[in-house]
Structure 1
Amino acid sequence: MQMIANMGFPAIVTMYLLIRIEAKLENLSSSINALSLNIHQFNNKNT
């Protein structure tokens, strides 16, 4: 509660959302990299 009083509600909500989104972006990035690798391997098989 002290943190909310000092920083304000919008700042706390923004920090919370950024922390939660960061992990999801890391997972998305690794999934995209894996997909790219699979596409590259698939293209090499078919040539």
Structure 2
Amino acid sequence: MDQFIPIISEVGFPIVVTLYLLYRIESKLDMVVQSIQNLPERMKERT
């Protein structure tokens, strides 16, 4: 068990940071996808 504690402390932090960043990027990607889906409708409104 003592062997796993250093591994968890070394690997755990990068995993937490990665998951946090993926969560933040996911919400921004959802907004980009929504904007792209609305683009044809907005272009029709301009013409």
TM-score (structure 2 length as normaliser): 0.68
TM-score (structure 1 length as normaliser): 0.68
Number of paired residues? 43
Q: Which has the higher contact order (CA 8 A, sep 6+)?
A: 1
AA matched with 1:10? I
Structure 2: stretches of 5+ with no match in the other structure: none
Root-mean-square deviation (CA, aligned residues, Å) is 1.8
Structure 1: stretches of 5+ with no match in the other structure: 1-5
Equivalent position of 1:33 in the other structure: 30
Taking only the aligned residue pairs, the percentage that are identical comes to: 7
